[in-house]
């Protein structure tokens, strides 16, 4: 079941980079973030009503709020600003430095073990990500948009780490709802112009944002919380290195952003790292080792 949720996350989050690139043409980054997460919040509110989720304990309200603000508000606003001046492929590759940040934070804060073979696979994937990021940026000096996306990557990693302890006491649905609702509330003061903007925007852009809210936001975050409730944050985040490959494919088809030979090579390297790390994990399982 965890693998199924990982596949859904990869597909939804890959499509998000292309969707944001499209919608940010008409919606300001703050407006886009607010609109997307209002849609996501309403979607989860409907699901939560039928699931009858528990109210959070008072002692956990602060952690839910901080986690939501970092993982939803900061991440999405930084990503939206970054995509104003970057391609969907570049944005996806840079933000997918998050698995490396997650692994380091998981080791330091959550005391998660990092096996040698896993670390090698992670570094292989990271080298592929770095290759693409540098090639898109015409050198090692990133553009301003790339720096915003790097901030988004760090925010995403923090989100994964901060919500992990909450998943020991709450269901994935509860964690997703309270974090996402907190993040949405934090965006509100910055995106109030949204309500004047919507009537003047072409329906195709509005429908794109609605898609972003229901699937890459509400459904993907719920699936990801389910994944994190069943495995270490560092191991789960490694799979996110497959997101850029799908994003570039969607960008090629949807936005006519033709991938360069270097981006294809970087993608192949990133995928190789994921496969290597997981092959080693499978070998240990067959031998009866405890992971």
Mean pLDDT by 10 residues, the chain (291 residues): 86 88 90 96 95 93 97 92 73 76 89 85 81 59 74 94 95 97 95 94 96 97 94 88 80 72 82 79 47 36
Helix (H, G, I), strand (E, B) or coil at 41: helix
pLDDT of residue 18: 82
Q: What is the CA radius of gyration of the chain?
A: 18
Residue of 221, 230, 96, 110 whose CA lies nearest to 161: 110
pTM of the predicted model as reported, rounded to 2 decimal places: 0.86
Task: Report how far residue 285's alpha carbon sits from residue 231's, in angstroms, rounded to the nearest whole number.
Answer: 14
Please give the pLDDT value at position 174: 97
Phi-psi region of 256 (alpha: psi -120 to 50; beta: other; left: phi over 0): left
Q: Quote the pLDDT of residue 37.
A: 97
Instruction: Count H helices and E strands in the chain, helices first.
Output: 15, 0
3-state secondary structure 249-288: HHHHHHHCCCCCHHHHHHHHHHHHHHHHHHHHHHHHHHCC
pLDDT for position 134: 67
Buried b (16+ CB within 10 A) or exposed e, 126-147: bebbbbbbbbbbeeeebeebbe
Question: pLDDT at position 199, please?
Answer: 94
Q: Is 261 exposed, middle or buried (0-12, 13-18, 19+ CB in 10 A)?
A: exposed
Can you spell out the DSSP letters for 135-154? HHTTSSS--HHHHHHHHHHH
Question: For residues 8 and 14, what is the distance between their CA atoms, to the nearest angstrom?
Answer: 10
Per-residue model confidence (pLDDT) at position 82: 85
What is the predicted pLDDT for the residue at 286?
Answer: 47
* CA 226 – CA 6 distance, rounded (Å): 9
């Amino acid at each position: 079941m965890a693998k199924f949720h990982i596949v859904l996350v990869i597909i939804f989050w890959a499509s998000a980079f292309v969707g944001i690139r499209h919608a940010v043409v008409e919606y300001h980054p703050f407006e886009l973030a607010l609109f997307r997460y209002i849609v996501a919040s309403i979607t989860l509110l409907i699901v939560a009503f039928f699931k009858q989720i528990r109210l959070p304990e008072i002692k956990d309200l602060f952690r839910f709020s901080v986690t939501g603000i970092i993982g939803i508000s900061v991440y999405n606003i930084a990503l939206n600003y970054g995509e104003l001046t970057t391609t969907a492929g570049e944005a996806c590759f840079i933000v997918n430095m998050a698995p490396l940040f997650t692994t380091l934070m998981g080791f330091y804060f959550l005391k998660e073990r990092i096996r040698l073979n896993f670390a090698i696979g992670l570094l292989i994937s990271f080298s592929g990500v770095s290759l693409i990021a540098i090639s898109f940026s015409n050198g090692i000096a990133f553009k301003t948009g790339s720096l915003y996306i790097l901030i988004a990557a760090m925010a995403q990693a923090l989100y994964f780490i901060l919500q992990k302890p909450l998943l020991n006491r709450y269901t994935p649905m509860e964690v997703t709802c309270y974090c996402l609702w907190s993040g949405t509330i934090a965006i509100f003061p910055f995106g109030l112009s949204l309500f004047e903007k919507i009537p003047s925007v072409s329906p195709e852009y509005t429908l794109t944002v609605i898609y972003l809210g229901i699937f890459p936001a509400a459904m993907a975050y719920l699936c990801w919380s389910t994944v994190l409730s069943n495995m270490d944050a560092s191991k789960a985040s490694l799979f996110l290195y497959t997101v850029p490959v799908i994003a570039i494919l969607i960008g090629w088809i949807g936005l006519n952003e033709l991938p360069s030979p270097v981006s294809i090579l970087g993608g192949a390297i990133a995928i190789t790292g994921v496969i290597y790390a997981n092959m080693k994990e499978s070998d240990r399982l067959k031998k009866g080792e405890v992971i």
